[in-house]
Structure 1
Amino acid sequence: MLDSHLRPLIDPMLNRAGKVLSGVGVTANSVTLAGLGLGLAAAAMLAFGLPGGLALLPLLLGRVLDGLDGAVARVTGRTDFGGYLDITCDFAFYGAIPLAFALRDPGNAVVAAFLLATFYLNGASFLGFAIMAEKRGITTTVQGQKSLYYSAGLLEGAETILFFVALCLWPDAFRPMALVFGALCLVTTGARVMLARRIFGVDG
């Protein structure tokens, strides 16, 4: 919901940084992997029970790199593998944070499993929509230039990052926050399915 509004504000800064990085030989894929590494480091810190505030730095730096990889790719040339690697690493990071809270406190396990299930459903609806859009030649640049079709939804990347930041700041409130966010993921999934039905049609 917020991504399309934030893009015009952050893309110019990312593009400038992307030109600098590409100029010194940094590749988009290496930026993607570095971002994943920082995200997993934040998850590990949470899993081992460290104060959530300490995990904020690698978490936020990792998300900055997640934006920078696309900026580098726009300079050096986008590739299908780069887009594939980017979305795979995104989902690896998204799954690592709920898992970290389950490991941090076994009492969180059921709620973490619910949150992971809603992430799974939301991700499936997102990727399925992208496949059908590609099949029909449907494109969009609302979320910037992407390798995949990014269908808008109630919860997108910005909302997920804000949620993770909140979890780091108030880790003891994981269960109620995760239940609310998971429910909103289900709303997002349902809305995307209805949109797909309208755009792609129903057999027969």
Structure 2
Amino acid sequence: MLDTKARPYVKPILDKTADFFIKIGFSANQVTVLAFVIGVVAAVLVGFGWMWTGVLILWLSGLLDAVDGTMARKTKQSGFGTVMDVTFDRVVEAGIIIALAARFPEQQFLLLLLMASILFGITAFLTIGNVVQNKGIKSFHYATGIAERTEGFLLLSLMVLTAPTFLFWTTGLFLVIEIISTIQRLIEAHRQLDKEE
């Protein structure tokens, strides 16, 4: 939801950052890999208990993750770039959740349920993206929902920064929002596919 609504406000920052990376000779795919590596570093930092630093590095990864798409639209879009982008996003999210599970084993079951809900959500998201006609600027149909990338980062940050005291509740909140968002996407996809037939 925030990704879609905030895009007009953050677009100037993304454009300037994308222009900078293009000027120094980076490709969109290279920035995707850079965002991924930085995201993995964030997970490692969280695993070692460097919570605030881990969250700051996570948000740097998120910024670069948004910049790579802007770069691709300014230069040349790559199908494999889309594959890397979506795949690496999930690995970074999983890395943060695994780091929390390793640090706070008493919450492992709930964190495992969250991981399962993300798996359910991304399966629906990618399947919808494949079967619903694309009318947007992304390389495939982007099914919006209440939990998009920014909400995921906000919730992961909340989980990390309030652990261990509120980790149960923040993880539960993320789990509920993820499930609602997936159901919302499925309902909307059903509606759109009915129109297309």
Where on the TM-score scale, by shorter chain, does this alignment land: which range?
over 0.9
Provide the residue aligned with 1:154 in structure 2.
Answer: 146
TM-score (ref. length: structure 2): 0.93
Q: Which blocks of at least 5 consecutive residues in structure 1 are unaligned? A: none
Q: Which residue of 2 aligns with 1:104?
A: 103
> Could you list the per-position Cα deviations for residues 97-147 of structure 1 after superposition, in whole angstroms to 9, with x for gaps in the alignment?
1111111121121011010011011111100100102xxxx2233xxx312
Root-mean-square deviation (Å) = 1.5
- Inter-partner Cα distance in structure 2 for 1:19 and 1:190: 37
Calculate percent identity across the aligned residue pairs.
27
Deviating above 4 A after TM superposition, structure 1's stretches of 4 or more consecutive aligned residues are none
Q: How does 1:33-112 map to 2 (within 5 A)?
A: 33-48=33-48, 50-112=49-111
TM-score normalised by length of structure 1: 0.89
Matched, 1:167 2:159: yes
2:191 to 193, 198, 202: 198
Structure 2 unmatched ranges of 5 or more: none
Conserved 8 A contact 2:160-2:167: no
Task: Provide, for residues 52-79 of structure 1, a one-character-per-residue CA deviation record: whole Å limited to 9, x for no partner.
Answer: 1121221111111101111221222111
Tell me if the contact between 1:22 and 1:75 (Cα under 8 Å) persists in the aligned partners: no
Question: What's the offset of the Cα at 1:7?
Answer: 0.3
Contact 2:100/2:160 (<8 A) preserved = no
Q: Which amino acid aligns with 2:72?
A: A
Aligned to 1:9: 9
Supply the distance in 2 between the matched residues of 1:119 and 1:76 (Cα, whole angstroms): 31
Amino acid at match of 1:155: A
The question of whether the paired residues in 2 share the 8 Å contact of 1:95 and 1:116 is answered with yes
In the TM superposition, residue 167 of structure 1 has moved relative to its aligned partner by 2.0
Residue 22, structure 1, aligned to residue 22, structure 2: yes
Equivalent residue for 1:187?
180
- Contact 2:29–2:81 (8 Å) recurs in 1: yes
CA distance in 2, matches of 1:199, 1:149: 11
Give, in angstroms, the shift of residue 34 of structure 1.
Answer: 0.9
Q: Following TM superposition, by how much is the alpha carbon of 1:164 offset from its aligned partner in structure 2, in angstroms?
A: 1.6
Aligned residues: 194
